[in-house]
Every structure is written in C-alpha cells, then in structure tokens.
Amino acid sequence: MKNPLTLLKEKCLTAGVKALLNREIEKCGVVTDLAIDTAQKTIQVALELKGEPTPLLVKAGSYELSEQNGAIHIGFYDVSSSKEWITAVLNKYAVGRRFQLPRAAKILL
C-alpha cells in the first residue's frame, strides 16, 4: 500500500500531465483517463480521438526519467495500445527515444 504523500504526489502529477497532454492534442481529441504509478514506473492513458468510435488505450510498461544539462527527459519502454497499428507506430517512433519535458518536471526526479 502506498503512503498518503505518494498518493498525493501521483494525483498532482497525473492532473498536471493530463492538462499538458490535453493542451497538446486539443485539435485531435482529449485525454479521458490517465494513471501514473511512480513506484512501478508505468503509465496508462485513455484518449477519445476525433473521428474514432472507441477510446484509444495506451500503456507504457515502464518509463525512465533523466536529467541532461538541466533539462528533464522521459523515455518509454514496453509500449502497447488497443490498436495494433498504433502500437507499431509507437514502437517505431517513440520507444527508446527521449523526450524533453517542461521545466516543472524537475520535481519528479
């Protein structure tokens, strides 16, 4: 069982990431559910994309945060989704690459 401070951290983190993602994809759809487990380092997201009849579910079986020259980066591994072609695209273009996060992400390390 997680301690209350960890749960609070995850709730705040989830709310912030969800808001950030929704700003980034607002023309394509909306994030309806997001779960981040900082202990297991997993992420699950459900998206309602415009033109799609069912939500898209994406899971990262693990993620890694790193700092380089004061910038925070995230890398995703063991990624899957509810659509086979999306899983293939994510594995080709996202898995194993590092993506820079906003400066506010520094509190995650």
Please list the pLDDT of the chain residue by residue as tens digits (109 residues). 678 877 787 787 788 888 888 898 999 999 999 998 888 999 999 999 999 999 999 999 999 988 888 888 889 999 999 999 999 999 999 999 998 887 776 666 5
pLDDT of 109: 56
pLDDT of 57: 98
Number of domains in the chain: 1
pLDDT of 83: 96
**Which whole-number Å values give the CA distances from 27 to 5, 24, 76, in the listed order?**
35, 8, 24
Share of the chain residues as helix, strand and coil, in percent rounded to the nearest 5: 35, 40, 25
The answer to whether 45 and 21 have CB atoms below 8 angstroms apart is: yes
pLDDT of 65: 87
pLDDT, tens digit, for every residue of 32-61? 999 988 889 999 999 999 999 999 999 999
Range of the domain at 51: 4-108
**Which whole-number Å values give the CA distances from 13 to 25, 32, 34, 82, 109, in the listed order?**
18, 15, 10, 24, 12
